[in-house]
Amino acid sequence: MFEIIRKTLRTGSQTINYPQEPDEAPPGFRGKPELFQSRCTCCGECVSVCPPSVIWLKEENGEKTLTISYCGCIFCGRCEEVCPHGAIKLTQEYELASKTKDDLLARIGWRS
C-alpha cells in the first residue's frame, strides 16, 4: 500500500485539465478545414475529390457559393491536397460540437 502511494507521488499527475484548460492538438493533426475566399477561384477541384461529398459549389442568380459541411467531414485532407491555390487548409481545431447543423456550415461566395 505504501509502495503504491510512494510510486504515485513520485510519478506525479499524468492527466490534463481539459476541457477546463485548452489542449493543443499535436503536430500533423487534421482538424476543421478552413476556406480562404481571397485565394479561391471556384474551380471545383475540392468538390470532385471529397469522399463523403460534403463540399458543394452552387451558382444561383449570378452568385456562386462554395460550402463545406463539417457534419460529414472525415478530415481526410483531400480538399487541401488538390486545391491549386491554397484556398482550403486543415487547421488544428477539433472542437466542433454544435446545437444545429447550420452552425457546422462554412460558406464563401461571389457575385458575378
Contacting positions for ligand SF4 (CB under 6 A): 33, 40-46, 50-52, 54-55, 66, 68, 73-79, 82-83, 85, 87-88
In which order are the strands placed within the sheet that holds 63-69? 55-60, 63-69, 105-111
CB 109 within 8 Å of CB 62: no
Set of cell numbers at residue 23: 489542449
CB of 48 to ligand SF4, least distance (A): 9
The CA-CA-CA angle for residues 91, 93, 94, to 5°, reads 130
| Residue 16 or 36 having the CB closest to ligand SF4 | 36
| Residue 8 or 41 having the CB closest to ligand SF4 | 41
Question: Whats the size of the chain, residue-wise?
Answer: 112
CB of 30 to ligand SF4, least distance (A): 7
CB of 92 to ligand SF4, least distance (A): 14
Set of cell numbers at residue 51: 469522399
| Residue 16 or 84 having the CB closest to ligand SF4 | 84
